[in-house]
Chain A
């Protein structure tokens, strides 16, 4: 045997047995290193998501099932809805402290906050930026409260104690007018964001330009935070945020066209560059004659078929509700698709956030339905996303 190996070594042109062995060992090391690196690399990509995904999946398991939603919808009154939520630890801590809507928003804001804290570094910027949603919601609530002349307690009930401005909320609430709120925002990024809208507000007294400027700022910059994807995970996050932006733009255009608004009336409210629906396409849609023109203009996108189906109902009722419900469902489906496609990466977080958002939205619909007289359980069920 040894002679055979020696013959083979000599035949291969190695001067000695030891050199052959040294080359062999070197080859094993090189092959081993290649195998190890190529095997480990994909694992390292999703490794940072392991911890957050486990936490998110635990919370996903606590989301309401369809059966539980049916039970909540069948509640006799708002108190029964509250009692049901008192039995759910995630909501229980807020239900007795705040009014129902504020409790639901607080739970959702806490979820956003958790995701922003536990998400890996490469997607942290986007989720942290998303927290501004609560600052914007609070500023909007406060200026609406000031315009409506609500008192301190009523205003506090509208504000969610989350976001970067949470320690500034008291000073904002204590103001007496919208203008004072805007002044109290000095030192934050919002005066700059609102600089074009403030003169319009002062001239017309309309809050819409103020609200739209902040919504636009949130979506535009959120899209930018994920605009240069580092890997598959951030690319999927970008596509999800892009879908949110496109849906927001389509909703604005459809609403505007239902109110017969022209291009120049709509343009200031649009997120300037969408994701799938780019600037030129948005311009074309804004220039459409009416709602059906917008839907025709969307031909070739995922949005056209579902919106075309809802066109008959819109023609009959003039209500935008079905369009909006379909678009919201599309966002939920997109998130679900990402969640299934990318189970080891960012997918579960996007899927959970979207489902949580839907859960809270549905609970708010139920709460509103239970407060309003004449809303049957079946009517509420139809409105749920």
Chain B
């Protein structure tokens, strides 16, 4: 078995937080949006395509979390044993994972709620589609902040490109 140093083990926790929390938020958000879309499609089958679009929007948070987790796994030495992280870098990796994890959790749920509401608005008034997309996209910003901070933490801690 490969000997994993403490820093790398901490980075693994960071990766878990990143994909776990972001995935949780995204999953709940997508569930809310999907439930609304199913209701809309039950009343108006033409809503299927638009329902899919709104339901897909809260997926991005999970993608951000997944990306950060992959980066952490690759550059911490778990997927590439030639690399190792020291303890400080490991702690920073936990911070990076938590940044996208919690940001993705809030953003994903928020986006799901807005998406579900937008689906309701569109099925009630089809002209609301573009405005619904704009409102729903707004909740994306929090996940982007989390994603950026996670990347910056990894870059300046020399986890990425170190």
Q: Identify the A interface with B (CB < 8 A).
A: 1-2, 5, 17-18, 21, 24-25, 28, 32, 35-36, 39-40, 43, 47, 50-55, 57-61, 118, 343-344, 348
Chain B interface (Cβ < 8 Å from any Cβ of A): 6, 10, 13, 17, 21, 24, 28, 31-32, 35-40, 42-44, 47, 86-88, 91, 94, 98, 102, 105-106, 109, 113, 116-117, 119-121, 123-125
> How far is A153 from B21 in the complex, measured between Cα atoms in Å?
65
B residues less than 8 Å from A24 (CB atoms): 91
Specify which of B6, B39, B47, B102 is in contact with A21 (CB 8 Å cutoff): B6
Distance of B150 from chain A, by nearest CB (Å): 15
Residue in A18, A47, A51, A58 whose CB lies within 8 Å of B123: A58
Bound state CA distance, A60 and B120, in angstroms? 10
* In the complex, chain B residues whose CB is within 8 Å of the CB of A21: 6, 10, 87
A25 — which chain B residues lie within 8 A by C-beta? Answer: 13
With A and B bound together, what is the CA distance between A1 and B10 in angstroms?
16
Q: Are B43 and A59 within 8 A (Cβ)?
A: yes
B13, B24, B124, most chain A CB atoms within 10 A: B124
Q: Is the CB of B40 within 8 A of A61?
A: no
- Taking a contact as CB atoms closer than 8 A, the residue among B28, B39, B43 that contacts A40 in the complex is B28
B106 touches A39 (CB 8 A): yes
Residues of B within 8 A of A118 (CB): 39
Q: Known contacts A50-B35, A61-B125; decide if A55 and B109 are in contact (CB<8 Å).
A: no
- Docked complex Cα distance between A163 and B105 (Å): 44
* A18 CB contacts on chain B under 8 angstroms: 6
Chain A residues whose C-beta falls within 8 Å of the C-beta of B42 in the assembled complex? 54-55
Q: Please state if A51 and B35 are interface contacts (CB–CB under 8 Å).
A: yes
Instruction: Determine the distance from Cα of A5 to Cα of B6 in the docked complex, in whole angstroms.
Output: 14
A61 to B39, CA, bound (A): 14
CB distance from B7 to the nearest CB of A (A): 10
Known: A28-B98, A60-B124, A344-B113. A55 touches B39 (CB 8 A): yes
On chain A, the residues within 8 Å of B124 by CB distance are 57-58, 60-61
Given contacts A53-B39, A61-B125, contact A36 B105 (CB under 8 A): yes
The secondary structure that dominates the A interface is helix
Across the interface, which residues of A come within 8 angstroms of B125, CB to CB? 61
B88-A43 in contact (CB<8A): no
Given known A21-B6, A40-B109, A57-B123, contact A50–B44 (CB-CB < 8 A) = no
Interface of B is mostly: helix
Going nearest first, the 7 A-B pairs with the smallest beta carbon separation are A54-B39, A61-B124, A58-B43, A57-B120, A50-B35, A58-B123, A51-B39
Q: Report A119 CB to chain B, min CB distance, Å.
A: 12
| Known A-B contacts A1-B88, A61-B124; A54 and B113 likewise in contact (beta carbons under 8 Å) | no
A47 to B32, CA, bound (A): 6
Instruction: Name the residue on A nearest B36 (C-beta).
Output: A54
Contact pick for A54, options B10, B21, B35, CB 8 Å: B35
User: Could you jot down 16 A-B contacts, CB within 8 Å?
Assistant: A1-B86, A2-B88, A28-B17, A32-B98, A32-B102, A43-B109, A51-B36, A52-B39, A54-B36, A54-B43, A54-B119, A58-B39, A61-B123, A343-B117, A344-B113, A344-B117
Identify the closest chain A residue to B106 (Cβ). Answer: A39
Q: Say whether, besides A32-B17, A50-B36, A51-B35, A43 and B28 are in contact (CB < 8 Å).
A: yes
Do the beta carbons of A55 and B43 come within 8 Å of each other?
yes
B121 contact set on A, CB distance < 8 A = 57
- Of chain A, the residue at the smallest CB distance from B20 is A32
> Contacts of A47 on B, CB cut-off 8 Å?
31-32, 35
Known: A47-B31, A61-B123. A32 touches B117 (CB 8 A): no
